[in-house]
Amino acid sequence: MRIDLHTHSRVSDGTDAPATLMRDAAAAGLDVVALTDHDTTAGWAEAADAVPATGVALVRGTEISARAGRMSVHLLSYLHDPDDPALVAQLLASRGSRDTRAQDMVTRLAVDYELTWADVQAQAQPGTTIGRPHIADALVAKGYLTDRSAAFERVLSPAGPYYVRYHAPDAVAAVGLVRGAGGVPVFAHPRAVLRGRVVGDDVIREMAGAGLAGLEVHHRDHAPAAVAELLALADELGLFVTGSSDYHGAGKPNRLGEHTTDPQVLARIEEQGRMPVVRP
Ligand code: AMP
Ligand code: FE
Ligand code: FE
Ligand code: ZN
pLDDT in tens, 19-31: 999 999 999 999 9
What pLDDT is recorded for position 195?
Answer: 79
What pLDDT is recorded for position 193?
Answer: 87
Identify which of 104, 189, 195 to mutate to test ligand 1's pocket (most ligand atoms within 8 A of the CB): 195
Positions in the chain short of pLDDT 70: none
What pLDDT is recorded for position 109?
Answer: 98
CATH number of 103-154: 1.10.150.650
- CATH topology for the 3-91+166-272 domain: TIM Barrel (3.20.20)
Within 6 A (CB) of ligand 1 lie 13, 131-133, 148-149, 152, 195, 248, 251-252
Cβ burial of 274 (10 Å; 0-12, 13-18, 19+) is middle
pLDDT in tens, 44-57: 999 999 999 999 99
- Ranges of CATH 1.10.150.650 domains, the chain: 103-154
pLDDT in tens, 136-161: 999 999 999 999 999 999 999 999 99
| CA distances for 183 relative to 13, 62, 83, 100, 172, angstroms | 22, 10, 12, 28, 14
- Ranges of CATH 3.20.20.140 domains, the chain: 3-91+166-272
Identify which of 94, 152, 194 to mutate to test ligand 1's pocket (most ligand atoms within 8 A of the CB): 152
What is the CB-side half-sphere exposure of residue 106 using CA atoms within 13 A?
Answer: 23
Counting from 1 in the atom list of ligand 1, the atom nearest the Cα of 13 is 12
The closest of 67, 41, 71, 75 to 215, measured between CA atoms, is 75
Contacts of 7 (CB under 8 A, 6+ apart): 14, 21, 25, 33, 34, 35, 36, 244, 245, 246, 247, 248, 256
